[in-house]
Structure 1
Amino acid sequence: MERASTAPTLASAINIGAFNLGNAIAAWLGGLAISSGFGYASVNWVRALMTLAGLGLAALSVALARHKATSPADVDLYEPAHV
């Protein structure tokens, strides 16, 4: 929400949509694992893999935000440096 200060409603809608999409994908993958003959315990492995994927995406997002904040394109060349 901090990054979307000009369109908070759109950011909120995208956030909810991504959450629902993740739920749908996880349910589909869990059903696929069960129907493939791996049994009901395989749903725990699907859940673990989905959690790792989510953590990986969150880490990637943080890394990209930090990289963007420190990229030379964000430096104002006309503003004197603060020492």
Structure 2
Amino acid sequence: MRLTDVEMRRTLHTTRLEHCTVGPGATRVRKVEEDLNIGAFNLGNALAAWLAGAAIGAGFGYASANIVGAMMTAAGLALAFVTLRLDARERRHI
């Protein structure tokens, strides 16, 4: 069975954890989404630790780790905001 573009977009929009309605493969979709979420968190955590270590190693002192943490938090919030805006735009077109 081949899905049309509209059906494909609807399927993609319903594969979130709170509305997982894709049929028999729903548990597999949830697992992949959970794994991607955990992987993104771990990547951000490792990147922040590396950047803080680089800042300390460059001679900016231990307080620079706090600044790196604040910058990573701001970047994460900005990315979340952009993602929400793009998702809202996509939902208007369906």
Q: TM-score, normalised by structure 2?
A: 0.72
Partner of 1:10: 32
Paired with 1:70 and 1:15, the residues of 2 have a C-alpha distance of 25
Paired with 1:59 and 1:26, the residues of 2 have a C-alpha distance of 20
When the two structures are aligned, how many residues end up with a matched partner? 71
Partner of 1:35: 57
Q: TM-score, normalised by structure 1?
A: 0.81
- Superposed CA deviations along residues 18-53 of structure 1, whole A, max 9, x for unmatched, are 010011000000000000000000001100100000
SS in 2 for 1:40: coil
Where relative contact order (Cα < 8 A, 6+ residues apart) is larger, the structure is 2
**Percentage of pairs with the same residue:** 49
**What is the letter of the counterpart of residue 52 of structure 2?**
G
SS in 2 for 1:36: helix
What residue ranges of structure 2 are gaps of 5+ in the alignment? Answer: 1-16, 21-25
Cα root mean square deviation, aligned: 1.0
**What is the letter of the counterpart of residue 43 of structure 1?**
A
**What is the letter of the counterpart of residue 25 of structure 1?**
L
Q: Which is higher, the Rg of structure 1 or of structure 2? A: 1
Structure 1 outlier segments of 4+, above 4 Å: none
What residue ranges of structure 1 are gaps of 5+ in the alignment? Answer: 75-83
SS in 1 for 2:18: coil
Paired with 2:60 and 2:91, the residues of 1 have a C-alpha distance of 45
